[in-house]
Amino acid sequence: MEIKEITGGVCAPKGYKAAGTHCGIRYSSEKKDLMMIVSETIADAAGVYTTNKVKGAPITVTKENIADGKAGLIICNSGNANTCAPNGEEIAKKTCELAAAAVGMKAEDVIVASTGVIGEPMAIEPFEKGIPVLASSLSADGSEDAAAAIMTTDTVKKEIAIEFEIGGKTCRIGCIAKGSGMIHPNMATMLCFITSDAAVSADMLRKALKDDVKDSFNQMSVDGDTSTNDMCMIMANGMAGNDIIDSEGEDYDAFCEALAYVTRYTAKALAADGEGAGKLIVCNLEGAPDKDTARKVARSVVSSSLLKAAIFGEDANWGRVLCAIGYTDAEFSADKVDVVMRSEKGSVTVCLDSRYAPHSEEEAAEVLAADEIIIDVDLKDGDASSTAWGCDLTYDYVKINGDYRS
């Protein structure tokens, strides 16, 4: 299937508008801290959420609101996670009511999300101030402002849109996301909002998203911390005019392929912008006995703090790759592992059959001097494969998180 990248982010699909503004949750008036995405019609909706036992109030409210598989509006603030606040759920519900009233919708059709500092008091006044501004400034060109409003320690906005065909109809998917720290597998490890004009039932959206994240957002790690507010939400309003996808088949497969394009692009972008990161780490794992093992081993490699530190130092300490493989909680043989490190600057084989492979340390250091480092691992114990994304561990990570609240 042909997939074409286009502009417009979450507003690229038909029937969506977005906006972002500063409402006063964040100290700096130069930083947007509240955003809204609205569908012209009520859409089918689905979501996946953090597995952290401590969850932000917006997750509880959002789960209740989309229990019927319907939503028409997403509202999200940055600067305060609305987690462990004494009145958090009340504020999340009131936010839904304010947002819905501003655009003529029911509060039960609102997806609400928050990101920022955990354990801070939360007030409704900034929402009362900012929501009317958002409603009056909704635009088909508003995706970039919306993406900017959900950033916390992110250094760049994460946004993508694509175009593809289903049943002879042109369909689109758009996405914005945020995430830089507190990122580790266990869904969803960030905030991600996806829009589509394809017609897909809520049940099939739920299945597509749940299956997809196993190979996208659950395959990235920055620092080993799983946040309290993580969610990935998708709305599909059907305005593309394709026959509704309500069962598995060719059209469903095409939609899943398009969704995977968007989520893998986004997962890679999130990992590359990890807090303090200077290098993206990609682990391509093959030769595993089954898919689940392949996923686990690839994740283990990119999650290793020791390996991440070595990549920062441009040190081809491949023993740390083998170590991370060895402590993976899965059943497989680690006796015949091959490891290749490569980048735009070249390639070096550092390990063959789980033993040292003669190589030049100088050439290896040159390979690791690039911004994107690919580690190819072959377990030679089966036919399953997987990819995971991570980043190096730098001094700046500690600096950023040492004074995060200030």
Furthest CA-CA distance within the chain: 68
pLDDT tens digits, one per residue of 323-352: 999 999 999 999 999 999 999 999 999 999
Domain C-terminal end among 255, 272, 289: 272
Q: Are residues 348 and 396 in the same domain?
A: yes
**In CATH, what number is assigned to the domain containing residue 251?**
3.60.70.12
Eight-class DSSP state of 76: E
Q: Are residues 39 and 126 in the same domain?
A: yes
H or E element at residue 207: helix 202-212
Q: Both tokens of residue 44?
A: 């089918």
Q: Using alpha carbons, select from 369, 372, 405 the residue that is nearest to residue 389.
A: 372
Indicate the SS3 state at residue 291. Answer: helix
Distance CA 101, CA 174 (A): 25
Q: Are residues 294 and 369 in the same domain?
A: yes
**In CATH, what number is assigned to the domain containing residue 369?**
3.10.20.340
Domain C-terminal end among 227, 243, 272: 272
Q: Are residues 262 and 354 in the same domain?
A: no
Q: Are residues 259 and 364 in the same domain?
A: no
Q: Are residues 204 and 340 in the same domain?
A: no
Residues 6+ apart with CB under 8 A from 73: 36, 37, 38, 39, 99, 100, 103, 105, 109, 110, 111
Domain C-terminal end among 222, 251, 272: 272
Q: How many domains does the chain have?
A: 2
**Beta strands 280-288; 372-378: pairing state:** parallel
Burial of 345: CB neighbours in 10 Å, binned 0-12, 13-18, 19+ = middle
Q: Which amino acid is at 400?
A: I
**What is the distance, to the nearest Å, from the Cα of residue 340 to the centroid of all Cα atoms in its chain?**
27
Structural domain of 189: 4-272
Q: Are residues 22 and 171 in the same domain?
A: yes
* The pLDDT of residue 277: 74
Ranges of residues in the chain with a pLDDT under 70 are 180-189, 223-226, 276, 400-401, 403-406
* The pLDDT of residue 55: 87
pLDDT tens digits, one per residue of 118-146: 889 999 999 999 999 999 999 999 999 99
Catalytic sites, residue numbers: 189
* The pLDDT of residue 236: 98
Q: Are residues 243 and 324 in the same domain?
A: no
User: Whose structure tokens read 């600096």?
Assistant: 399
Q: Are residues 222 and 356 in the same domain?
A: no
Q: Are residues 310 and 387 in the same domain?
A: yes
Q: Both tokens of residue 32?
A: 């947007």
* The pLDDT of residue 187: 46
Eight-class DSSP state of 245: B
pTM score, whole prediction: 0.93
Q: Which amino acid is at 322?
A: L
